[in-house]
Amino acid sequence: MSEITGASGPTIGYRPGDTLAAMHRRFGPLMRAGVGRRGFVYLMGPEANSFIFANAGLFRTREAFEVLVPVNGESSLLLSDGDVHRRRRRLMAPALHHRQIDGYLSIMAAHADATLDAWNPGQTVDAYQEFRAAIRRTTIESLFGRRLAADADFFGRHLQSLLSLMNDLPTVLALRRRFRTAAWRRAVVDRAVVDERIYAEIARTRRGEVDGDDNVLATLVNGRGEDGDALSDVEIRDQTASLIAAGYETTSGVFGWAVHAMLTVPGVWERAAEEVRSVLGDRVPTRDDLRRLTYLGGVVQETLRLWPPAVISARKIVQDFEFAGRTVHAGPLMIFSPYVTHRLPEVWAEPLSFRPQRWDPAEPGHRKPGPHEFLPFGGGAHRCLGSTMATTELTVMLARLLARTTLRPVAGRVRPVSFAALRPRDGIPVEVLTRS
């Protein structure tokens, strides 16, 4: 972990990501490591990202995301390619349309308020862990209804052993599976328990016992393609588990970094809180309100820039290609990095400074980044379907936090961890000064 001081305060870095950035400065957009099919090819920077997204046929995702199989399942969207990926994405897309998400705003605010109601002035709390649980409950209730949300803590307990496997490199995970280590055996048991609960809910939904008007599970069960094609129960299980796990694992990490930045960069908390009071008072935001929270929206975007959920992403190279004047042969894994792209001085002014105002179109010098320059949710055909829900949930919950509390950071070192879902290893401890 490195800490670099920018013009607007300290910005915490992640040592592996910073190492990749140093490699990019020294060797340029294309680097190689290792030999043959066991090696790695690193494509770094905006031009590399644009090339990757425009040439999806050169790559495959399945082998690159082996660590996600225990959680997401073999047929999850992230592990799909080609026509199979397009089919599954087409059947899932209606469930996460922005009009659906507008109906979730009151649920998001309610779970944020329930968490804040338990806080008292003078108390020290871990804002990251507290809201991690709230985001998990919100995600499940919004997408799958209250019946499944009643088991939010159950999912939190049993998914944790699976999520912990995501911290492993693929080679380490393969060894765990081969030798059936204690961590692997525990994950297998927990996976079976989670699957039993999800399959029971799928069966209820097929019987017409739908929980709520906008139940995503019902959309997945009843959705049909133009040719009448439907998802199987295994596919529905995998998409459901993926949405639950990714919905809180990645979003809660970003929430923690946002709280850390607002409390440690001078003036950010105060300006964001003033905007929330001016626009909302103490009411639950509407979709129109969220558009008016330009500074808080900038906080969310700037947090995603400096601490993107995925430090790196990967693809398996399946065809030879040329890039940056060099030939790359099929076989190795290709690595690209949102983290590196988001901290490049040739792309971002004061790249290591936390500056929410850079996202306001009314600010002098504003420049909207291209999809190859800002990619916290990936890009191209595999861009995350849940990105709108994630940014909406972050904005709503941060707005409730700002409206109802005054916090002070607790002294201590904040350390990032995990390539797959960058999060504060020891949480974000804060002291509650006031709570309305």
Please report which helix (H) or strand (E) contains residue 380, including its range.
none
Contacts 24+ apart (CB under 8 A), 47-52: 47/324, 47/372, 48/323, 48/336, 49/336, 49/341, 49/372, 49/373, 49/375, 49/379, 50/370, 50/372, 51/323, 52/315, 52/334, 52/336, 52/379, 52/380
Do the Cβ atoms of 311 and 14 come closer than 8 Å?
Answer: yes
CA distances to 94, 235, 385 from 202, in Å = 18, 11, 21
- The Cα 395–Cα 297 span in angstroms is 7
Measuring CA to CA, how many Å separate 402 from each of 253, 269, 277? 18, 8, 8
Torsion, CA 250, CA 356, CA 381, CA 35, rounded to 10: -70
Is position 384 annotated in a ligand binding site?
yes
Helix, strand, coil % in the chain, rounded to nearest 5: 55, 10, 30
DSSP string, 19-73: HHHHHHHHH-SEEEESSGGGSEEEE-SHHHHHHHHHTGGGEESTGGGGGGHHHH-
What is each CA distance from 59 to 84, 188, 409, in whole angstroms? 15, 30, 44
Dump strand ranges (E) for 110-226. Answer: 124-126
Query: Locate tokens 């009411």: which residue?
Result: 283
Binding residues for heme, by number, are 384
Binding residues, by number, are 384
